[in-house]
Amino acid sequence: MDMSLQDLLLLGKKDLASERGVSCAGELPAASDPDLVERAKVARAALGSRAMILGHHYQRNEVIDFADITGDSFKLAQAAAENSSAEYIIFCGVHFMAESADILTNSDQKVILPDLTAGCSMADMAAVNQVNQAWAVMERLGLASQTIPITYMNSTAAIKAFTGRNGGAVCTSSNAERAMNWAFTQGEKVFFLPDQHLGRNTAVLKLGLNLQDCVIWNPWKPNGGLTDQEIVDAKIILWRGHCSVHGRFSVENINEVRARIPGVQVLVHPECQYEVVSNADVVGSTEFIIKTVENSPAGSKWAIGTELNLVQRLAQKNPDKEVVFLDKTVCYCSTMNRIDLPHLVWVMETLVNGRVINQISVDTEDAFHAKVALERMLALP
């Protein structure tokens, strides 16, 4: 049977977990365990201030219920960095988020990912060897010295390290415009990865560039699928990556929900396709989406294009408003949903018993250069 790239990546992570002796076979509590919530409460109380639990907005409610802090990936990484006293940072998110927390915390702290197979398909679309090959083409063309790499927070530590080594910075969905503007003060081109949609939307809708100023680098084609002249002429070189959740929303979804719910406002994340973002009423980061709905007047109607767990939670917390998922088809982030209460209980109880499992550790050199890129972001004007 043929396996997809994502299947192979997940299999590799499972093999890695087995090699590290962190298989949860026979240890993971059953999801049907009637005492599971009580076990979570007991373990959490036993860990006390020794542990901090971080919960990404896209997590299940059963996990968010035990989070000390909820937020997007950058907010949670900052929270980890600001808490130097917690011995354990239990990161309920995906792999690249835990890596960022490990980079920003001190050497005495241990970052724990409850399920090592909780990855990010977008982050996995940019392998560092492929990015190095793309950079070699730019060096061959004499463009590397004038090209500034900007990597989205949703990237691996290795990609953040590549960015730091080559004069670039990390960005989030809320400061991508600032990061790109800064990059153009440092050079003549931007190499944006791994999310082509955030890069394109920022370049065209925020910076006022043309779609023709952007080209897509396809890592599976020679020379990225581009001619040398196309690379030379481009102002923005976009990596061919995307979010599997946000990329599914369409203009048809927007037209359908507007016909079905008169007066609805369409609110989407900038990881959505250019056509979707162009046709939406409001566009913004995860934190922006939450604040927009919370601060809107009673009776307002929202169709939201982002991860379903968050949309459902917003609907529950804002009963005076109509909040619906933009796509009629149910779609959770499959890798984010790998973190569940059984895995959280498992890692907490294991820590209580004096054993550290599923620790995320970034290579020292990569961590140094990735931190340089993160610090450049923090210093953006």
Q: What is the pLDDT of residue 165?
A: 97
Name the band, by pLDDT with cuts 50, 70 and 90, for residue 330.
Answer: low
Long-range contacts of 253-257 (CB under 8 A, 24+ apart): 253/305, 253/326, 253/327, 253/328, 254/279, 254/280, 254/303, 254/326, 256/328, 257/303, 257/324, 257/326
**Which one has a higher pLDDT value, 260 or 58?**
260
What is the residue-averaged pLDDT of the chain? Answer: 90
Percent of the chain surpassing pLDDT 90: 74
Name the band, by pLDDT with cuts 50, 70 and 90, for residue 21.
Answer: very low
Q: How many of the other CB atoms lie within 10 Å of CB of 83?
A: 16
* Maximal CA-CA distance, the chain: 64
Lowest mean pLDDT among 73-82, 134-143, 255-264: 73-82
Which residues is 238 bridged to in the sheet?
A: 192, 216
User: Is-contact 271 195, C-beta < 8 A?
Assistant: yes
Per DSSP, the three-state class of 303 is: strand
pLDDT tens figures, 225-257 = 999 999 999 999 999 999 888 889 999 999 999
Q: Which domains does the chain have, with CATH numbers?
A: 5-119+336-362 (3.40.50.10800), 123-243 (3.40.50.10800), 246-325 (3.40.50.10800)
- Separation between Cα atoms, residue 139 and residue 31, nearest integer Å: 52
Nearest to 198 by CA among 124, 123, 271: 271
Name the band, by pLDDT with cuts 50, 70 and 90, for residue 8.
Answer: very low
Q: What is the pLDDT of residue 183?
A: 97
**Which one has a higher pLDDT value, 246 or 133?**
133
Is residue 57 over pLDDT 90?
A: no
Q: What is the pLDDT of residue 347?
A: 96
Beta-strand ranges (E) seen in the chain are 51-56, 69-71, 88-92, 110-112, 147-152, 169-171, 189-193, 214-217, 236-239, 265-268, 282-283, 301-305, 322-325
The mean pLDDT of 97-122, rounded to a whole number, is 91
Question: Which residues, at least 6 apart from 342, have a Cβ–Cβ distance to it below 8 Å?
Answer: 28, 29, 30, 31, 33, 36
- Separation between Cα atoms, residue 249 and residue 330, nearest integer Å: 12
Phi, psi of 266 (to 5 degrees): -95, 120
Nearest to 102 by CA among 152, 48, 160: 160
198-223 as b/e: b if 16+ CB within 10 A: bbbbbbbeebebeeebbbbbebeeeb
Q: What is the pLDDT of residue 32?
A: 74
**Which one has a higher pLDDT value, 331 or 258?**
258
Q: What is the pLDDT of residue 25?
A: 52
Q: What is the pLDDT of residue 356?
A: 95
- Exposed, middle or buried by CB within 10 Å (0-12, 13-18, 19+), for 52? buried
- Separation between Cα atoms, residue 22 and residue 174, nearest integer Å: 36
The mean pLDDT of 10-31, rounded to a whole number, is 52
Gyration radius from the chain CA atoms: 21
